[in-house]
Amino acid sequence: MEGPPAFNAALEIFSIYDRLHKLETNALETNANDKKNHWYDSQLFSSVLSGVILAVFGFALTGRLEQSAKERELNIQSAKDMQELLVKMSTGKGDEADAAAVTLTAYGRYAIPPLIQNLQYSPERALAAEHGLDALAITVPEDLCNNLGTVLQNRTQRYTAASHAPVIRIMGVAGCTGSAQIQILREYADLIKRADAGGPGLIEYQQAVRDATPSNVAQAKQELANTFRLLHVDYAF
Amino acid sequence: MRSRLAIFGAIAAVLMTVPLCSGQTQCTGVSGGTDYKVLVDEVQFATAGGNQPAIALELLQSSVEGALEKVRHGVLARSSSPSTMLYLPCSGRHPQSPGEFNDLYIRTMASNHVILELWGTIFPLGDGQHKFDIHYVMFPVASATAPPPSGITATEKTMASKPTPVQVTGYLISARADLPAYFTVAAGVQAYADHRWDQAAPLLCEARSRLKNKTAQQDLMKFADELASKAGAELRKSSDPAGTSLMSEAQAKDYCTFATTR
């Protein structure tokens, strides 16, 4: 019967030294790998920093949502308030309609579409709307000019010739000097020039603008000339 | 984006609920269309407690329409392109003074093809006497680009007693009244602006005849006469580009004389 192997001191020392060496090598490799890891892989982040960032993000998101909800609520409330003013504009005498239109301008860019719409109705409403739009030239000139440009650019008889005249006037008074708006005015002036020659040009104008007659052509020509003068634009009819 | 849609939707809903043209002081049907329009406002008695209607507006409107259509059809009997004229009753409308008609308002009305607006006021003078003021605004005349005579005018008549509705309409629309004269000027000038030469020329000649003996309206008469000749020249040009028309150039230049003497 064989007994346990005899203790060999030299072998034991070698074995221990070898294991120590392996452990040291592994530890160095692990440290090198740790250096390559991203900051968010760190223990600190996973425990503390990620929580902070999440809290900040949540706070910001909640703020945005609340703001959006409040804005929508305000818009709907504004529309309700605007309703009264629009009714006053449609039923009031000249001064009352004027006052209602100018009060509407407190709603800023939201007042532009209803005021433009009112340019197409009775002369009292149209004039009140024109005064309101004139006032908006001070507060929201860019929105105003863009919207008026869109009206003048329309060629599907969406607007009457009578409503295009004040649009041209306001673009002059409001100083709509953006290159896009000047281009729109020039294109409209070209349309008027062709209409002024009569025949197919007039038919083209009547197909683009509702309720247009040669007297509207003459008026538009006059308004355009005045607007070009105000905007320092050279255009020869 | 949704919030924008919400507000525009709400506004659109509001606009749909607002009548296009309503109320006590505005006339329905002024905006839109290419028909010429005559606005008939109230004729009122001026009293200390406020104005009172002197005649039902419907009666006034129908009387004015009947009288002016008779004149128009008589003048345009030979016109090849008859047009429609709308006579709109403006319930509750009674302008305080012609000063309300500023340049912008006049241009807005003209762009909607409104040619004439009239209203009247009857004032008690004492001893049963009354003064009847009638105001007329001829929008195409007032908005003409050439230096035109004023398109805003009035006539005045003193009456021995408080006029009845029949007397009111009678004074407004009688054959020798001012209304048909101003109507023919306004309609003629608008027809000229719309290049309807065959209507403009006879209407303006009719206006010239009716204004001839009105000493206070000689500027208006001259304006109508000159415009009639221009319309005559255009008529000659458009009906006969070759220049072989029965109407000579000289005759076209004095169209009204030519038209009344041939």
Phi and psi for B140 in degrees, rounded to 5? -65, -30
Please indicate if any CB of chain B lies within 8 Å of the CB of A215.
Answer: yes
Return mean pLDDT, chain A: 89
- Minimal Cβ distance to A76: which of B10, B109, B140: B10
Question: CA dist A81 to A23, A131, B9, Å?
Answer: 79, 19, 14
Residues B72-95 have a mean pLDDT of 87
Contact (CB, 8 A) for A215 and B145: no
The mean pLDDT of A58-83, rounded to a whole number, is 81
Chain B residues close to A198, C-beta within 8 Å: 195
Q: How far is CA A119 from the centre of its chain?
A: 24
Give the pLDDT confidence score for residue B19 in this predicted structure: 38
- What pLDDT is attached to residue B32? 85
Residues of A in contact with B140 (CB under 8 A): 215
Provide ipTM, 2 decimals: 0.81
The rounded distance, in Å, linking the Cα atoms of B205 and B230 is 11
CB contact under 8 A, B31 and A166: no
Distance from CA of A108 to the nearest CA of B (A): 13
To the nearest whole Å, the CA of A144 is away from the closest chain B CA by 16
pLDDT at B78 over 90: no
Across the range A126-131, mean pLDDT stands at 95
Backbone angles phi and psi of B115, in degrees to 5: -100, -30
Give the residue-averaged pLDDT of B6-14: 48
Among the residue ranges A46-50, A202-206, B187-191, B202-206, the one predicted with the least confidence is A46-50
Is the CB of residue B140 less than 8 Å from the CB of residue B189?
yes
Domains of chain A are: 70-139 (1.25.10), 141-237 (no CATH)
Q: Please give the average per-residue pLDDT across B205-223, as a whole number.
A: 92
A6-42 in b/e form (b: 16+ CB < 10 A) is eeeeeeeeeeeeeeeeeeeeeeeeeeeeeeeeeeeee
Of the pLDDT bands very low, low, confident and very high (cuts 50, 70, 90), residue B241 is: low
Rg (CA), chain A: 38
* Chain B contact present for A112, CB below 8 A: no
Question: What pLDDT, on the 0 to 100 scale, is given for residue A34?
Answer: 62
Percent of chain A with pLDDT over 70: 92
Indicate the pLDDT class of residue B248, thresholds 50, 70 and 90. low
For residue B152, the cross-strand partners are: B137
Q: What is the pLDDT of residue B236?
A: 83
* A60 to chain B, closest Cα gap in Å: 20
| Residue percentage of chain B with pLDDT more than 70 | 80
* pLDDT at res. B20: 37
- For the stretch A38-54, pLDDT in tens is 666 677 667 787 788 88
A50 shares contact with chain B (CB less than 8 Å): no
Residue B134's SS3 state is strand
Which chain B residue shows the shortest CA-CA distance from A158? Answer: B32
Burial class (CB in 10 A: 0-12, 13-18, 19+), A57: exposed
Question: Strand B114-126 vs strand B52-53: parallel, antiparallel, or unpaired?
Answer: unpaired
The secondary element (H helix, E strand) that includes residue B122 is strand B114-126
Structural domains of chain B in order of their starting residue, each with its CATH number: 25-195 (3.40.50)
Name the closest residue on chain B to residue A75, using Cα atoms.
B7
Partner B contacted by A160 (CB < 8 A): yes
Structural element, H or E, at residue B39: strand B36-45
Closest C-alpha to B56, from B163, B169, B172, B177: B169
Share of chain A above pLDDT 90, in %: 58
Structure-model confidence comparison of residues B33 and A67, the more confident one? B33
Q: Do B195 and A76 touch (CB under 8 A)?
A: no
**The pLDDT value given to residue A180:** 97
How far is the C-alpha of A181 from the C-alpha of A189, rounded, in Å? 12
